[in-house]
Amino acid sequence: MSNIEKKYNELKDKINYYASKYYNDDEPEISDFEYDMLMVELRNIEKEHPELIAKDSPTQVIVATGKVNEKFSEVTHEVPLQSLQDVFNLEDIKDFLNRVEKEVDNPSYCVETKIDGLSVSLEYVDGILVRGSTRGNGLVGEDVTENLKAIKTIPSKLTERVTITARGEVYLPREELDRINEEREALGEKIFANCRNAAAGSLRQLDSNVTASRNLSVFVFNMQKIEGKNITSHHESIEYMKKLGMNVIPYSKKCKTIDEIYASIQEIGDLRPTLPFDIDGAVIKIDDLKQRDELGTTVKVPKWAVAYKYPPEKKETSVLDIVIQVGRTGALTPVAILDPVPVAGSIISKTTLHNEDFIKEKDIKIGDKVYIQKAGDVIPEIVEVLKNKRTGNEKNFKMPTKCPVCGAPTERVEGEAVVRCTGIECPAQLFRSLVHFASRDAMDIEGLGPAVIEQLLDAELIKNVADIYSLKKEDIASLERMGDKSADNLINAINKSKSNSLDKLINSFGIRHVGGKSAKLIAQSFENLDAIMNASVEELSAIKEVGEIMAISIHEFFENDQTKDLIKKLKQAGLNMEGLKKEIKDNRFDGMIFVLTGTLPTLGRKEASDIIESYGGKVSGSVSKKTTYVLAGEEAGSKLTKAQELGIKIIDEKEFLELINNEI
């Protein structure tokens, strides 16, 4: 294999990996600009060495990966949702115009904002929204109709009874991203990298209520198809869709010459910092729809449009200091305090340095001159250290060995980049700990949500988790929007939680690597909480599905003095500490996975689940290739359909009972 072929394959695989993180996982690892530059490098190699072009090259497919998530039904797009060819300078635009003008006579163009969000298809029949789907791989997308109906700017009914398919971009306003990230950070959850990342994560939710809570919006920018109406230009289609009640693209200007086109691109660039939403470029399109048909498309992109990508704005500043922030999960995050500098429309005075590995990799010192830019035009980041400007007075930074908030020891687990505070009662973690403790999957204290917890903390009525059980009715009734009835309900919910099963309590502690399922396994393996606290790593790791890493995490958690203090207080409050040790009748279902769907004639879902577990089996909430049986009753839904598609064995209650009563 030649060096150029090796380089080509490495570059192709790298781009496909980054595309998968971006499109499939909604977790971009590099900036859009870095990704674009990799694509430019790949195209240049393919231009010089066409014999190397591979079928799985990102230049040959509509999206390098973009697979459909199995959580959603598939939708085949009647008109493919293609991507656009990117251009980066005036010469590239001229090349595009020259190619067009060789093929069609006297073309006119439209220049529009390129919204940075998630592309969707909206299908209306007789003016009613019947289906909405994501772009997916351009040919097949995901059915997210219910989630799209939760977006206020998408009309369920148009002003005319027309059958039309429109393409739009679901986006998240910048101020909404700030709000969501503040909430996620408070709960110890990973923050969204940018508005596009957040929009994708919000739209691809199984619960449409989550989508509705995120205040997404949409801009419609293309008419894919229409029945019974003769529309001849893109500009006309935009005006017509606006008349129908759709929220169309906010900036669309007709242009004729290269000068007019470039002036429009510059105008959009000037507007960019002031817009309440993210854009990642400007789109240049042929206006005449007949001329579009004449130009046609390649496998990946239309020949009648290109996307001009703006370069990221980069500024020089100084690292004045590096301080530590302790997150709600106990993660210690180094933050660079910067000499304030304007970047992409806002004044930047600090930026996260992620972890100590990032600092070492970039070789960042206190006092350094650095270049910063906004990743995805939202989150500021240090992209380069100007080592040639060092004076010798710069200082190295060291992660602290004790939490700067509570003084508990810090630790870095092997294989992880994060340094954490080990104190469960650390004030910096308190809000997150309380929210998790009261959540549905933990102690399930109805009415004790984030807003109430925040008020209780502000009023200094609680200072640790155990204080929940010392609250009085008058304490709660004194809070804003909380009267006597609400206070009574919350006190009742708190008292009710005392009798929760032990797995709920274990899950409520927020032990790293331990979730609801593993908490139940642990509770079933010991007589009580004291036995768990006294268990060795070896005893814990002997539990099925509890590996060594989880066992170490559990053991260290219960060894911590702050944990022991908390459990002592919870015992005094009267919480249930007894285990769930169950007798396994036999292991006939060992290694088998059951999925329940529909209503069974005589067995309740919990009763059926308990029976399966008593014979060593597992119950899962979703169908996959690993599923052994789907136990189906009346009104079985999508799980039954999925099982049929995958060829999974489907049984009814009668067959299920036969499995129990007979040897298998």
> Do the Cβ atoms of 448 and 476 come closer than 8 Å?
no
Q: Is 534 exposed, middle or buried (0-12, 13-18, 19+ CB in 10 A)?
A: exposed
Angle at alpha carbon of residue 11, lines to 9 and 15, rounded to 5°: 115
Report the alpha-carbon angle 612-614-619, nearest 5: 35
Q: Which two tokens stand for residue 344?
A: 């992409």
Q: Which residues are catalytic?
A: 114
Residue with tokens 């163009």: 109
Say how far apart CA 45 and CA 64 lie, in whole Å: 17
Look at the block and give the residue holding tokens 């960042």: 364
**Measured distance CA(587)–CA(614) in Å, rounded:** 8
Taking the C-alpha atoms of residue 130 and residue 156, their distance in angstroms, rounded to an integer, is 8
CA distance 515 to 43: 45
Please measure the distance between the N-terminal and C-terminal CA atoms of the chain and give it in whole angstroms. Answer: 54
The CA distances from residue 21 to 8, 48, 54, 375, in Å, are: 20, 29, 21, 16
Backbone angles phi, psi at 16, to 5 degrees: -60, -35
Distance CA 400, CA 411 (A): 10
Token pair of 544 as six digits: 């099925």
Residue 483: count other Cβ atoms within 10 Å of its Cβ: 11
168 contact partners, CB below 8 Å, separation of at least 6: 119, 120, 122, 154, 218, 219, 220, 221, 246, 247
CA distances from 580 to 441, 524, 584, 639 (A): 17, 4, 12, 30
Burial class (CB in 10 A: 0-12, 13-18, 19+), 241: buried
Q: What 3-state class would DSSP assign to 115?
A: strand
Q: Which amino acid is at 15?
A: I
CA–CA dist 109, 286 (Å, integer) = 5
The residues with which 223 forms a beta bridge, in sequence order, are 166
